[in-house]
Chain A
Amino acid sequence: MTDAPVDAPARLSAAGRRGRSRRRRRGRWVGLLFVAPAAVLFAIFGVYTVVYGFLLSFARWNGFSPDWTWTGLSNYADLLGANPAVSPVIAKAAGNTLVGMVVLPIVVIVIGLALALLLNSITRLRAVLRTVYFIPFVTTGIAVYYAWRFMYQPDGVVNAVLDALGLHSLAPSDGFLGTTSTALGAVIAVQVWSNVPIAMLLFLTGLQTIPESVVEAAHVDGASGFRTVWSIIVPLLNPVTALVVVIMLRESLQNFQLYLLMTNGGPVNASNTLGLQTYAFAFGRTTDLGYASALGWLLAVAAIVLAVINLRILRSRQ
């Protein structure tokens, strides 16, 4: 800016005003330009695919013929009970998904919060342990899933450890993933293992925002350590807990790759989930593209409703 030298305060305020108004005027279209690359990509790979899948959920199509047969809501009706050939499978998968949606958040919160509290009470090893704890989260994927599969083999590490502890009766002879009663729990355990780190980190962050004086005051008032944690720290961490619940519900509903690579839903649908069933309808042995789309949308609606409810609760508390 090469304004003539007028007196400094006047020039500053004039320039300030000009700057502000120019920023707004400039921003009106510059902002859109900044967002444009993301928006274009999203229009192609987001909006197009979402609309395509949504439309297909109201049609039947074999994937090859040029035309779709419009069938209205019949895909949804079939999945929700009208077709006796698929509804038992869906019901089983829905039950398993529900188990995950209850177990995963609870166990991850308990372990994550405990680790965060313990980690917050030590100094020396804290940084190293935080890094170590985080490794399962960043490596989550096919390689660690296969390591767990190997560990869950009938003669694998998990059974060997149980044997060594004298708990032979707890070690299934077909391995944890090959036994109907244990397959789901064994896969959820892996899911817990890979999601505890993010909960731990979020709780650790939350703990650092709690003023020390609050904890101190509780101590002065004679509250025990457990009492302080339960009555003061846990309520103060509620927003973090709600966030962890949202992330874990999303994980339970959406992560089908874990189930695909660990058990592929087996044995006999014992560890099938809605996400995996959606994948199976789309790419499995007996495909049904209409069902795949409709089930995908039922999942999406569930995910969005849950997220909205959770955020409502979170907001009403604050």
Chain B
Amino acid sequence: MTATQLTRTRGRRSARVKTTPAAFAGRLIFRIVVVALLVIYGIISVFPFLVMIGGALKTNQQVLTDPLPFTSPPTFQTIVDTFGALNVPLLLLNSLVIAVGSCILILVVFPLAGYAFAVLDFPLKRILFAIFVGALFVPAVTVLLPIVFLDQTLGLNGSPLAVILPVVNGAAPIAIVLMRSYYASVPEEVHEAAVLDGCSEFGIFWRIYFPLSRSALVTVTILNFVAAWNEYVLPMLTNDDPSRFPLPVGLQSLLSSNVVQWNQVMAAALITVVPIIVLFVVLQRFFINGLQGSVKG
């Protein structure tokens, strides 16, 4: 690896300076090696998803004898059978209620807090912020038991709220830090000008800052949608009514049967990840910008 290839523009400029055949060949080989390595890691990244697709298109016999994806003539019977073994629409609906419900609450509660921590002065500001950030380091498993008891005491068990409220609260540290660092990067003049124009504090937040923070909002939404969508332990512990199970708990039930039908497990896993991948690919531009912005800020 030579330093010239470390940055794009350097590479281009040096291409103009030295164009001996040897240097050209060297650069070409270097490029090929780089692209090959990157593509190999790309395959590693998506391989489990290929295995899911491959497994979902096999019979149970094929999936046992032939573990590699796409090596048998595809069958759609497995997906049909999976819809028979699991009430997929209901599981999807329950998962959606939990994921969408917690995202809406998160988007209502934490941008407000992030805005206050970034822009406003108020009593206890530093202490409150320290507490919220410190909560990031209290392991979820440490408070899991008290949360389950609390859900019970509040009579939430069986309701999606038993999952939604703890998930929203668990999102607090990262959501507040992300939103705060975004709002802190908005020039103070914006706030001052709005105050001059007689805008109320909530008006400033709602009409100016909130719409401005689109990429941070998308980042927070995706992070928490995924977390809520994949939440397995809380719904399992707070709910024993199968008609209220979200996808992860339904998926788990496939594996706890005596003879595991791996082709159906893969089909159900695929049904679980596809919505997330679609959401991520559609919103990824904002998502990655939001994450990067929060690190730089």
Query: Residues of A at under 8 Å CB distance from B?
Result: 1, 15-16, 19-20, 22-24, 26-32, 34-35, 37-39, 41-42, 44-46, 48-50, 52-53, 56, 111, 115, 117-123, 125, 129-136, 138-144, 146-148, 150-151, 153, 155-157, 160, 193, 197, 201-202, 204-206, 209, 212, 215-216, 218-219, 223-226, 228-229, 233, 240, 243, 250, 253-254, 256-257, 260-261, 275, 278-279, 282-283, 289, 292-293, 296-297, 299-300, 303-304, 307
- Interface pair A157/B67, CB less than 8 Å apart: yes
18 inter-chain pairs at a CB distance below 8 angstroms, sorted by A residue, are: A32-B116, A34-B201, A46-B172, A53-B143, A119-B38, A121-B6, A131-B281, A138-B276, A143-B248, A148-B48, A151-B51, A202-B295, A205-B291, A209-B296, A254-B139, A256-B141, A296-B144, A303-B139
Cβ-defined partner of B52 (8 Å) among A48, A130, A147, A279:
A147
Cβ-defined partner of B123 (8 Å) among A32, A257, A293:
A32
Once A34-B116, A133-B41, A147-B269 are accepted as A-B contacts, the answer to whether A257 and B233 lie under 8 Å apart by CB is yes
Q: How far is the CA of A90 from the CA of B265 in the complex (A)?
A: 33
Residues on the A chain within 8 Å of B166, using CB: 45
Q: How far is the CA of A67 from the CA of B165 in the complex (A)?
A: 28
Q: How far is the CA of A24 from the CA of B222 in the complex (A)?
A: 34
Cβ-defined partner of A34 (8 Å) among B38, B55, B113:
B113
- Interface pair B144/A282, CB less than 8 Å apart: yes
Residues on the A chain within 8 Å of B144, using CB: 279, 282, 296
- Interface pair A38/B109, CB less than 8 Å apart: yes
Residues on the B chain within 8 Å of A123, using CB: 8
| Residue of B with least CB distance to A30 | B201
| Residue of B with least CB distance to A57 | B142
Cβ-defined partner of B121 (8 Å) among A24, A49, A134:
A24
Query: Residues of B at under 8 Å CB distance from A?
Result: 1-11, 31, 34-35, 37-39, 41-42, 44-46, 48-49, 51-52, 55, 64-65, 67-69, 108-110, 112-113, 115-117, 120-125, 128, 131-132, 134-147, 149-150, 165-166, 168-169, 172, 176, 191-192, 195-198, 201-202, 205, 222, 226, 229-230, 232-233, 237, 248, 251-252, 255, 262, 265-266, 268-270, 272-273, 276-277, 280-281, 284, 288, 291-292, 295-296
| Residue of A with least CB distance to B117 | A35
CB distance from B63 to the nearest CB of A (A): 8
Q: Sort A-B residue pairs by CB-CB distance and give the 5 closest, nearest first.
A: A141-B230, A31-B122, A296-B142, A34-B116, A31-B120
Q: How far is the CA of A48 from the CA of B176 in the complex (A)?
A: 20
Once A23-B195, A228-B3 are accepted as A-B contacts, the answer to whether A299 and B232 lie under 8 Å apart by CB is no
Once A35-B122, A147-B48 are accepted as A-B contacts, the answer to whether A42 and B132 lie under 8 Å apart by CB is yes
Cβ-defined partner of A147 (8 Å) among B51, B135, B138:
B51
Residues on the B chain within 8 Å of A140, using CB: 226, 230
CB distance from A82 to the nearest CB of B (A): 21
CB distance from B218 to the nearest CB of A (A): 12
Residues on the B chain within 8 Å of A299, using CB: 139, 141-142
| Residue of B with least CB distance to A2 | B198
Q: With contacts A138-B277, A219-B2, A225-B2 known, what are 15 further pairs, Cβ within 8 A?
A: A1-B197, A34-B205, A39-B128, A52-B146, A53-B143, A119-B38, A122-B38, A138-B222, A139-B280, A143-B230, A219-B4, A254-B141, A282-B145, A296-B142, A300-B137
Residues on the B chain within 8 Å of A205, using CB: 291-292, 295-296
- Interface pair A141/B6, CB less than 8 Å apart: no
CB distance from B140 to the nearest CB of A (A): 6
- Interface pair B288/A201, CB less than 8 Å apart: yes
Residues on the A chain within 8 Å of B34, using CB: 118, 121-122
CB distance from A107 to the nearest CB of B (A): 13
| Residue of A with least CB distance to B135 | A46
Once A135-B45, A138-B280, A201-B291 are accepted as A-B contacts, the answer to whether A156 and B52 lie under 8 Å apart by CB is no
- Interface pair B64/A155, CB less than 8 Å apart: yes
- Interface pair B137/A250, CB less than 8 Å apart: yes
Residues on the B chain within 8 Å of A146, using CB: 251, 255, 265-266, 269
- Interface pair A48/B150, CB less than 8 Å apart: yes
Q: How far is the CA of A241 from the CA of B149 in the complex (A)?
A: 39
CB distance from A237 to the nearest CB of B (A): 12
Residues on the A chain within 8 Å of B205, using CB: 34
Q: How far is the CA of A34 from the CA of B180 in the complex (A)?
A: 13
Q: How far is the CA of A312 from the CA of B135 in the complex (A)?
A: 18
